[in-house]
Amino acid sequence: MHALKLPAAGSKATRARLKKPLKKRFPFAVWLALLPMVLTVVFAYLGTMLWTARVSLSNSRTFPSGDFAGFTQYARLFNNARWLLSLQNIVIYGVCFIVACMVIGLLLAIFIDQRVVAEGALRTVFLYPYAMSFVATGLVWQWILNPELGAQAVLRKLGFAHARFDWIVDQDWVIYTIVIATVWQASGLVMALLLAGLRGIDDELWKAARIDGIPRWRVYVSIVVPMLGPSISTAFVLLFVMVVKLYDAVVAMTQGGPGTASEVPAKFIMDYLFGRANIGLASAASIVLLATVLAILAPFFYARSRAATRREV
């Protein structure tokens, strides 16, 4: 029997098939199956974004109004000290959180990639915190860092009279306690993504490096990490989304305090949307946050697509 030969990716048959009209390549049933998702994207996502943008240009308070106030809400927003503090906090948090998760996740992935004993159990242990909600994580770390009940109290009872772990009530350090809690939760996800990338690297690379006498750390820095580019970029996008969505852990750990020291944009928006009944200002803050995300991720995805195109060529 003759083996079945499939057309190559760049063959004439493939090119001819791709030139066919979409109607012939994708039958009606496929479009019908995609219709619910298309409607969800158009109305639930794009529609609500446009509606939020419209409300941000009005003087809406408790309920949306149809008036047009221009950029008045945006001017009020950037004259609001609480909003400016929330932006400062999210930048500090985002940089510390992403860098720490990337470094710890990479080190954990390299460690497990050494074919250690009980590898499956270790993977589960490191990844388990990610299965927890941010609320549960926040409550656990709130107890651990409570000066009267947590680590500080235990160490002082053991004789370390000057031990101090009261960062959660310190205005200068409270944002870093949130970083610690969320890094503990999310670094396992980065480990899983990078470990999958490491397992995809050919063993011949390591054999060649040993023959050439290249130090192992140099192989990781100069060869392995650049090869993990797709995994690293995926991890970065997921972590960045977590930064923008930061709300549950803050509410569970600090309620934005002490004072407003751990205020973040998502909490600011929720407070003005429901607590202070100013949906116009909350909508303006949401649009600013959306524009910031697009300004950061759009160039990132563009550079990633260009790099993928160059690799294909």
Q: Where are the domains of the chain?
A: 89-263
Helix (H) or strand (E) holding 253: helix 248-253
pLDDT at 11 over 80: no
Residues of the chain above pLDDT 90, percent: 35
Q: Which of 297, 241, 294, 250 is nearest to 269 (CA)?
A: 250
CA neighbor of 293 nearest in space, from 245, 252, 249, 255: 245
Amino acid residing at 255: Q
CATH number of 89-263: 1.10.3720.10
In 62-221, where does DSSP find H-type helix? 72-77, 81-112, 119-131, 134-145, 151-157, 174-199, 203-212, 216-219
The pair of three-digit structure tokens given for residue 240, joined into one six-digit string: 């960045």
Q: For residue 62, what pLDDT band results from cuts at 50, 70 and 90?
A: confident
Per-residue pLDDT tens over the stretch 122-144: 888 888 888 888 888 888 898 88
The tokens for 32 are: 């019908």
- What is the Cα–Cα distance from 65 to 67, expressed in whole angstroms? 6
The pTM score is 0.83
pLDDT digits (tens, 9 = 90+) for 87-105: 999 999 999 999 999 999 9
